[in-house]
Structure 1
C-alpha cells in the first residue's frame, strides 16, 4: 500500500491485518523511481505500513520502476523488492470477465498477479480470478509463502513487454 492509501483508509488496513493478509509497501508516493531525487527515493523505500513491527519487509516499486539506486536503498532498509509476473490490466476499461480470462491464461503456479486498489472493476475481477484459480487447482498465498528468485534483464524485459505490450 502507498502511504496516502494507508492514511486515507486506516480501518481497511486494520481489517486486512486482522484477516491475515500480508500488507507490504508500495512507497510513500506513487512515483516512478527515475522521477525521484536520491533523497526522496530513500524516503520512498524507507516507508512501510508496518513500520516498527520487525521482520524483512517487501517493497514493490511503483510501476515496477527502478533507478540505479533502488536495490541498494532497499537492501540498506532491510527490504526485498517484490515484483509480479502477471499484470491484470485492471486499469484499462475492459470488462472483468475479459480481464480474468487474459490474466488466467498467463498465470502459472507461483505467479504473482498484479491488481490495483482503485479501479472499479477490480473487486469483480478478483472474484473471477479466485474462481478461475480454484477451478485450475491453484490457491492464492501470501508473498512470504513463495520462494523468492532473482530475474535477469531478459526476463524483466519480457515481463514488461507482456504486462504493457498487448
Structure 2
C-alpha cells in the first residue's frame, strides 16, 4: 500500500481564476511567466460559474505509472509525488491519454510534464492569494472530498 505524505487540495469556491498559480509554476519550473508552460492549469467551468485549478493528483494507484511502456514514471519516496524520468521517457503520450484529470501535458519542447510538488514545497500554494490550493496531509474525509472533486473534473474534461 502506498502512503501519501501530502497532497494538493483545491477548493474551487475560493479560486478566482487569476492564474497566479500558473505563472508561479512556469516561472519556478521554466524560468518564464507563461501559463502554457505551467504544470497547473486553471479551467473555467462556465456552466457552474467556477474556475478549477487542474493539476496532477499523484494518484495512489496511478494509471500513468501503469501505462508507461518504459517505466519512466515513478513515485518519489520523499514527497509521494509521481515523477517523470525525462532520461527514460520516449514521449509516447500514453500517460497523457490515461490521466483522468488532465494532469500530464506535453511541453513545447516535446517533453511530457506534470506537477512534481516542487520537491515538497509547491510554489502554486505559496502564491495563491485566496488560498484555493492547499498542500496538506490527507485525512479520510479529505481523500473522499478529493475523489469527489476529481470525478467532477473528469466529467468536465470529457465535455470540453
Instruction: Return the TM-score normalized by structure 1.
Output: 0.28
Larger radius of gyration: 1
More helix by share: 1
More strand by share: 2
Higher relative contact order (CA 8 A, sep 6+): 2
Instruction: Return the TM-score normalized by structure 2.
Output: 0.28
